[in-house]
Structure 1
Amino acid sequence: MGRRRAETGAAEAAGTPRSEPENPQEPAGRHYRPHHKAPLWLRIAALVLCSVLVIGVGTAGVLFYKLQSNVTTAPLDGRLPNGANSGPAIEDTGSLQILILGTDTRDGKNSQYGSEEDSSGQGQSDVMLLMDISPDNSRVSVTSFPRDLVVPIPDCVSATTSETVYGSSAGQLNGALQAGPGCTVAAINDITGLSIDHFMLADFTAVKELSTALGGVEVCVDHAMYDVNGSFLRLPEGKSLVEGEQALAFLRTRHAFGDSGDLDRIKAQQYFLGSMVRKVKSEGTLTNLPRLYTLADVVTKNLTIDEGLANIPSMVTIATRLAKIDLAKVSFVTVPTEPYVADNNRVQLQQPQASQFFAALRQDTDLTASPTPSSTGGTLASTPPAETPAATQSPDAPAYEKALQPISVVNATAVVGRSLELVQALAAAGFSNAWQAGDIPAVSETKLLYGAEMADVAADLATLFNLPPAAVQFDATVAGISLVVGADWISGTQYGTIVVPENIVASTAEQDAGCMKVNPLYYTY
């Protein structure tokens, strides 16, 4: 016995496991618990669940990769070298502006619509829509820019060749696309004072396939018609469901509606978009992920976007934000224009209405709201507000003689006589050496420019007129002070008044616009 105990003790000391007790019914120790295997059904369920998760994640990855690989990218700002910049990340909240462009290029799958000589390469912008989503996702405006709008076009770097494409002081806006979508973004940023976050560029094929994937979009015309001079759109009187080629023809026609002008085509595009938004909203498409994937797959195959937008989560976030917006707060706007002075077949910005509208966009103004105090502390109005008394000067005595300070007031509002009100306000505050320096073409933003040793005077004038710090700028070429009054300040002596041009909203997505008026030249019987 002693030997056996010694052997056992040696084995345990060497780490050899002890043999099982002879009686299997007898516990081996105080903490022993019998081991039971998991039921077969539970093991099968766990295996199935793991398989589903693996397959699900794998499938999601494949779908994600498939959509990601569909996308073509280009720089956001065409003035910078190819690939040098992209837009910011898409967040759930915060102001978001996306420029949506439609190109008339005949390259590739679009060759059936004409020869490459008609419009090769990037083409020109058939459609230019600026979608502006409010920071709190309560509203969205969709602003149309006419393709015939004459504006300054900047020098840009070609998105395809990386060569410089020289701009023009007075070029047609749709031609900026020749250097790539980023050049159109840059041109619109310049005229609006905005900083557009992202862009999407679609071709003819994208429009056809998207309208088909949606199951058609309902339109209505007041007379049977056939556009024999371009789009070949043919519709019976009343309502029709258009998709594919018909949907593309409805958006492209320049002759069938109204007076056969570009502005009438814009009306048709806004009409189509309003109907499409109502359908997408009513069917819950934006919150139906499988349905949304189908649409994304269609769109991304024929889409060029900036790199900051080139990921599927960003697209899903945009869809989620849009899904929250009430149809009555989806507004369609056309930039205020008038005939171009050098060619009545083209248009130019109408002032001061255009600059007033751009100022409202920069301040995230609700274009569908009734006159009410704005979030910036100014007054939101559809017509210029009544005169406001000038601000009281600080009780601290300035370290200069106010009556000796040279102050010129330049009118850049396109409102006749605007400078006089401000010169009178300056005189009332003791700045009697102020004068009207004439009118110049309208600019979007007010600037208070000051020369050498005039910073303290400029600061006091900024306080007097409630000007923002960004408006106060040093300019070595200025002798004294130059107050350049822009179209963002067309009335009153206190900066911050937001004036929304009257009837700027053409329609909202909630409104059924009835039937489009057909040009009688294109009636069929």
Structure 2
Amino acid sequence: MDAQGRGRADNNVDPADQWVLNPQTGDYELRLTPSGGQSAVPGPRRGAPRRGQQQEVPAQRRRREPQQPAQTGRRRSKPKKKAKGKKILLWSAGSLAFVVLATAAGGYFYYEHLNGNLTVTDTPEAKNSFSKDEAFNILIIGTDKRTGKGNEGYGDKGSVGHADTNILLHVSKDRTNATALSIPRDLIVDVPDCTDKDGKVIAGTSQVRFNTSLGQDNRTPGCTMKTVKAVTGITPDHFMMVDFNAVKTLSSAVGGVDVCVAKDVDDKESHLKLPKGTSSVEGEQALAFLRTRHSFGNQGDLDRIKVQQQFLGSLARKMSSSDTLTSPSKLTSLAEAATNALSVDQGIGTLNKLKDVALELKKVPPKNISFVTTPVLDNPAEKVKATVVVNEAKAPEVFNAIKNDVSLTETKKKKKSAESARLKGTKSEASEVRVDLYNGSLKTGAAQETLTWLQNNEGVTKSSQLGNKPTQKKTTLEYSPDQADQARRLADIMGLPASAMKPGKSEKNDQGLPAIILVLGQDFQGAGTPIDGASAKAPKVDGQQTADKTVCAQ
């Protein structure tokens, strides 16, 4: 049964016909008929608790399954026998599709129905909550497992479900930009130790393909998250996985996705057949477009990544179009398809949390959503080139840009006037700055390195190094109001952003004199390197695309 047909009443009323525009909010809300007849949308499942009640359910069971016990505070994952099957990266289900959930959950029962569609897995590597006030990183994973109706012709027949497609989505703190970093499945990496779903430790492996970070030896998405951090230095906050069937249902729900090819395509492997130029694809044809590798470039995974990025950018534009967002029937279909497709961690494992993610991403202009691929080189250890390695000359600056929240497109940075004012005003002479340094970074000896540089190169002679503090993400500079001029001078010397300035307190140094407090964070790159990542120059990345433009596949 299709998404709109589910739960229809006997009088064949489409649920979409009962969405009413609320003039106060500008959102469509579901108005259920208060009669005794069958509801036009799925009601609560048989045996489900009423509002305010809870039942005990096991951790790995899907909520929508009737009469299954559940563990308080946790969502049930989908049982294996009902698994949707093969997974693939899908930009809309992984991010933009959740914009529809802001308007598609007006009715309580329908909200509970959509919420129950989600598959949620407790993941120690993921945060337990989502912050709307910070930058965030979501790892979107697609596996190559072949289960699922109609998916027999795709992927590796015997695969346990490897990380076939991977995108690390970074959304900036000020919401002016986002970067979607593709990580090739054939990238040679060291997979760190991690745990399986039962908490059993899985030993890491060296010099293996990135895709083995999932599925191999029962590795979970948390293992893939740890591998991403080991390779890039960027910490994923959450993960999302979607399935092959979502490509079909979501592309059909929006009425097709426009794609462009530079030449006629007739691929006998994927059965993709397209004329030169722009075509609209949906369903099985959309899946074939994403999976084909024999029609473009060198017929390798890197060329397929470019094709996927084109598709995802086009889908993002279609998702945010007025034609989609003002259509109650499309919103209903999209909400069903998106929630059915998803596997997520506990930190974003409810409809409300996913709505928050979507609304934050919706603030980013499509022209500032960049699609890039990790810079790589052919594996020098191979005679027949089958895998790649990180390009150490180019990749670090891309990773550092993401870590430092630097946009890969031109944007106008939003600044908080109260914070910016802290950098304005008189500055002491460097020789008058009295500062105590602590190391809260992950770099051994960072405080001593900075002390030596300040004293020998910058003339900050009244400085002391006092050891380690608990690790913190950002560098901070604390000072009392009468030390603001000293703090401004040190901030200028070190390239500190206004957000690092913390007025309010100081401490006494080993001579009993008041000193400002500098704690180096994980954003510390080395003595003499500005800590204000926002001032860093964005790197130029080969093959970079943005979500507002179409690049024809070649």
Provide the TM-score with structure 1 as the length reference.
0.63
Whole-Å separation in 1 of the counterparts to 2:32 and 2:474: 63
1:336 aligns with 2:375: yes
Amino acid aligned to 2:409: T
How far did residue 339 of structure 1 move? Answer: 2.1
Aligned partner of 2:115 in structure 1 is 68
Alignment equivalent of 2:142, drawn from 91, 99, 102: 102
> What SS class does the counterpart of residue 402 from structure 2 fall into?
helix
Aligned partner of 2:539 in structure 1 is 501
Cα deviation digits, residues 291-312 of structure 1 (max 9, x gap): 3332121122232111222211
> What SS class does the counterpart of residue 388 from structure 2 fall into?
strand
Greater gyration radius: 1
Whole-Å separation in 2 of the counterparts to 1:232 and 1:69: 35
Whole-Å separation in 2 of the counterparts to 1:511 and 1:50: 44
Alignment equivalent of 2:270, drawn from 227, 231, 240: 231
Q: Is the 8 A contact 1:336 1:350 kept in 2?
A: yes
Aligned partner of 1:171 in structure 2 is 208
> What SS class does the counterpart of residue 112 from structure 1 fall into?
coil
Whole-Å separation in 2 of the counterparts to 1:291 and 1:398: 59
How far did residue 322 of structure 1 move? Answer: 3.2
Cα deviation digits, residues 299-356 of structure 1 (max 9, x gap): 2223211122221112223333333332211221112222223234222222243222
Aligned partner of 1:317 in structure 2 is 356
How far did residue 408 of structure 1 move? Answer: 9.4
Amino acid aligned to 1:94: E
1:369 aligns with 2:410: yes
How far did residue 51 of structure 1 move? Answer: 4.0
Aligned partner of 1:254 in structure 2 is 293
Q: Is the 8 A contact 2:42 2:113 kept in 1?
A: no
> What SS class does the counterpart of residue 369 from structure 1 fall into?
coil
Provide the TM-score with structure 2 as the length reference.
0.60
Alignment equivalent of 1:242, drawn from 267, 277, 281: 281
Whole-Å separation in 2 of the counterparts to 1:145 and 1:167: 19
Whole-Å separation in 2 of the counterparts to 1:394 and 1:287: 63
User: Structure 1 residues 426 and 251, CA, compared in 2 at 3 Å: closer, same or farther?
Assistant: farther
Q: How many residues align?
A: 391
Q: Please give the root-mean-square deviation of Cα atoms over the aligned residues, in Å.
A: 4.4
Whole-Å separation in 2 of the counterparts to 1:466 and 1:167: 38
Aligned partner of 2:19 in structure 1 is none
Q: Is the 8 A contact 1:88 1:197 kept in 2?
A: no
Q: Is the 8 A contact 2:115 2:350 kept in 1?
A: yes
Whole-Å separation in 2 of the counterparts to 1:115 and 1:503: 29
1:124 aligns with 2:171: no
Q: Is the 8 A contact 1:129 1:144 kept in 2?
A: yes
Whole-Å separation in 2 of the counterparts to 1:302 and 1:137: 26
Calculate percent identity across the aligned residue pairs.
35
Whole-Å separation in 2 of the counterparts to 1:71 and 1:221: 35
Residue pairs, 1:275-314, within 5 angstroms: 275-283=314-322, 285-286=324-325, 291-314=330-353
Q: Is the 8 A contact 1:151 1:169 kept in 2?
A: yes
Q: Is the 8 A contact 1:144 1:334 kept in 2?
A: yes
How far did residue 265 of structure 1 move? Answer: 0.8
Q: Is the 8 A contact 1:231 1:252 kept in 2?
A: yes
> What SS class does the counterpart of residue 511 from structure 1 fall into?
coil
Whole-Å separation in 1 of the counterparts to 2:434 and 2:110: 69
User: Structure 1 residues 393 and 270, CA, compared in 2 at 3 Å: closer, same or farther?
Assistant: same
1:200 aligns with 2:207: no
User: Structure 1 residues 353 and 426, CA, compared in 2 at 3 Å: closer, same or farther?
Assistant: farther
> What SS class does the counterpart of residue 297 from structure 2 fall into?
coil
How far did residue 163 of structure 1 move? Answer: 3.7
How far did residue 214 of structure 1 move? Answer: 1.8
How far did residue 267 of structure 1 move? Answer: 0.7
Say which is worse superposed, 352-361 or 263-272, in terms of deviation: 352-361
User: Structure 1 residues 170 and 316, CA, compared in 2 at 3 Å: closer, same or farther?
Assistant: same
> What SS class does the counterpart of residue 320 from structure 2 fall into?
helix
How far did residue 153 of structure 1 move? Answer: 1.0
Whole-Å separation in 2 of the counterparts to 1:364 and 1:259: 33
Whole-Å separation in 2 of the counterparts to 1:184 and 1:168: 13
Aligned partner of 1:22 in structure 2 is none
1:348 aligns with 2:348: no
User: Structure 1 residues 494 and 366, CA, compared in 2 at 3 Å: closer, same or farther?
Assistant: closer
Q: Is the 8 A contact 2:256 2:282 kept in 1?
A: yes
Aligned partner of 2:183 in structure 1 is 145
How far did residue 187 of structure 1 move? Answer: 1.2
Whole-Å separation in 1 of the counterparts to 2:41 and 2:243: 33
> What SS class does the counterpart of residue 345 from structure 1 fall into?
coil
Whole-Å separation in 1 of the counterparts to 2:231 and 2:524: 13
Amino acid aligned to 1:170: Q
Residue pairs, 1:377-416, within 5 angstroms: 394-395=431-432
User: Structure 1 residues 277 and 86, CA, compared in 2 at 3 Å: closer, same or farther?
Assistant: same
Whole-Å separation in 1 of the counterparts to 2:414 and 2:404: 9
Return 5+ residue gaps in structure 2 as ranges: 1-30, 44-106, 417-427, 437-443, 461-472, 476-489, 501-521
Alignment equivalent of 2:258, drawn from 198, 218, 228: 218
How far did residue 490 of structure 1 move? Answer: 8.5
Cα deviation digits, residues 334-393 of structure 1 (max 9, x gap): 1222222323422222224322222221222222017x99979xxxxxxxxxxxxxx985
User: Structure 1 residues 219 and 354, CA, compared in 2 at 3 Å: closer, same or farther?
Assistant: same
Whole-Å separation in 2 of the counterparts to 1:223 and 1:347: 28
Amino acid aligned to 1:132: H
Q: Is the 8 A contact 1:367 1:505 kept in 2?
A: no
Q: Is the 8 A contact 2:138 2:240 kept in 1?
A: yes
